[in-house]
Structure 1
Amino acid sequence: MNKLSYRLIHLLIGWGTVGLIYQFNSLLQAKATLLHPSKIDQLIPFTPYAIWPYLSFFIIIPVSFLSAPLHRVRWMTVCFMLTSLIAGSIYLFFPTSMLSAAPIGSSIHAQLLGALMSVDTENNCLPSLHVALTLIVVLGYINQKQKLKSILMALWGSVICLSVLFLKRHLFLDLVSGACLAIVVGAGVYYGLKRMNNAATLNRHGGR
């Protein structure tokens, strides 16, 4: 298997798992607990232009899977699977919602936001999967040998995470919980894969 095929297969498995769990939850929507904005949320103005960085989420993921250091690809895939499973379980057993800002006018921003709201589910506020997956691919991409590209990727990911607040798709609590979920899962998967690799190395050496 060449490197490109390896990357594409992992992208399909990781992102495909997210999609399946997301759709499964949308079929089992229960009455959600309404979350109220905090003082921080009240200070953030509704900004329709934030739809562009928000939607660039669907670009940053394949970009990272196709260009991140090869040894990080497996890590990102497992993180995607576990993160979506944990978040999906929370959405199922503790669904949360919020009052979203309605799009006004006929601008392309309003039309895109309206289309987004028409297909999005209403029980998946906390934690923000948008933020969690973005943070995972940013961490997976960062490379000491490519500092400028890593900085640009980190800035891109930061703008995406902030866009969920300015677009009023999530609350600050959702952002923080999504980031915490990504960090906890990321660390757990890292040490889990490291132990598996060490055990495999010992078995190979022991079999000689």
Structure 2
Amino acid sequence: MNRILKKSPYLLFLLVIPLLAVIYQLLNNRSQKAVDISTSIDQSIPFLSIFIIPYILWYAYMFCYLIYFCFKDTKVYIKTLMLIVIAELICFVIYFFFQTTVPRPTIVSDNFLNNLVQWIYTKDRPYNCFPSIHVLTTFTVMLASLHIKNKHILNTLCIHISGSLIIISTLFVKQHVIFDMIGSMFLVTFLYGISFELLTFRMREKSGTVYVKNK
């Protein structure tokens, strides 16, 4: 209990996420000069409304695993949150100068899943697309989880299977295109290498610990 109470104040850092959401919304209304970067591959990907379920579950996925990281390994939690903040700020700069859009399908049939998709469409205009925030945050959590020790195998499977479904859901519900996904994963991988690998190496080096990677 004392351990939980000691780490609980770190959860206040999560308040930065709603602040980032406000900036996102401010940038999500520039319809002029928005560029369509979809490819023929994107056009061949079918619209599957069933994928709106993992797409919406992204909200719970991100917050639940950040809270889990906080209590399991606070250093990993802080690094993960910092990576998300920096990556999203970079995305916002890109949105401001290079706004892209995604062609959305016309939804005809009236059923529960299609209504969910339509609800997302009304809440999130198709302009802040490259890179994808959905993919960016999900892939960050997936990579950061590799540094959480002593995880149950079911937990590991849940992180990566759920994360993968969320990432591909952005394509099947036509919220993003392939370049949006690739751009996000490239950005996260670059920042991850700095925050989780390079800085860790330097910290160990300064502490006098010899760190040698296995070939």
- Confirm or deny a common fold (TM above 0.5): yes
Q: Percent identity?
A: 24
Helix, strand or coil: the match of 1:56? helix
Deviation at 1:77, TM superposition (A): 1.2
Deviation at 1:84, TM superposition (A): 0.8
Going from structure 1 to structure 2, the CA distance change for 1:177 and 1:75 (only over 3 Å counts) comes to same
Count of aligned pairs = 199
Gaps in structure 2 of 5+ consecutive residues: 209-215
Deviation at 1:99, TM superposition (A): 0.7
Q: State TM-score, norm by structure 2.
A: 0.82
Going from structure 1 to structure 2, the CA distance change for 1:30 and 1:73 (only over 3 Å counts) comes to farther
Deviation at 1:200, TM superposition (A): 9.2
RMSD: 2.4
Larger displacement relative to structure 2 (146-155 or 75-84): 146-155
| d(CA) in 1 for partners of 2:182, 2:191 | 14
| Residues 26-37 of structure 1 aligned to structure 2 (within 5 Å) | 26=28, 30-37=32-39
| Residues 150-161 of structure 1 aligned to structure 2 (within 5 Å) | 150-161=156-167
Q: Which residue of 2 aligns with 1:81?
A: 85
Question: After the TM superposition, which segments of 4 or more aligned residues of structure 1 sit over 4 Å from their partners?
Answer: 27-30, 195-202
Going from structure 1 to structure 2, the CA distance change for 1:197 and 1:20 (only over 3 Å counts) comes to farther
CA contact (8 A) 1:17 1:84 kept: no
| Residues 22-171 of structure 1 aligned to structure 2 (within 5 Å) | 22-26=24-28, 30-39=32-41, 41-68=42-69, 69-70=72-73, 71-142=75-146, 143-148=148-153, 149-171=155-177
CA contact (8 A) 2:132 2:184 kept: yes
CA contact (8 A) 2:37 2:179 kept: no
Letter in 2 for 1:78: M
Deviation at 1:201, TM superposition (A): 6.7
Gaps in structure 1 of 5+ consecutive residues: 203-208
Q: State TM-score, norm by structure 1.
A: 0.85
| d(CA) in 2 for partners of 1:183, 1:127 | 13
| d(CA) in 2 for partners of 1:177, 1:32 | 17
| d(CA) in 2 for partners of 1:144, 1:201 | 22
Going from structure 1 to structure 2, the CA distance change for 1:173 and 1:27 (only over 3 Å counts) comes to closer
Deviation at 1:102, TM superposition (A): 2.7
Letter in 2 for 1:37: T
CA contact (8 A) 1:18 1:80 kept: no
| d(CA) in 2 for partners of 1:104, 1:169 | 17
CA contact (8 A) 1:32 1:123 kept: yes
Q: Which residue of 1 aligns with 2:212?
A: none
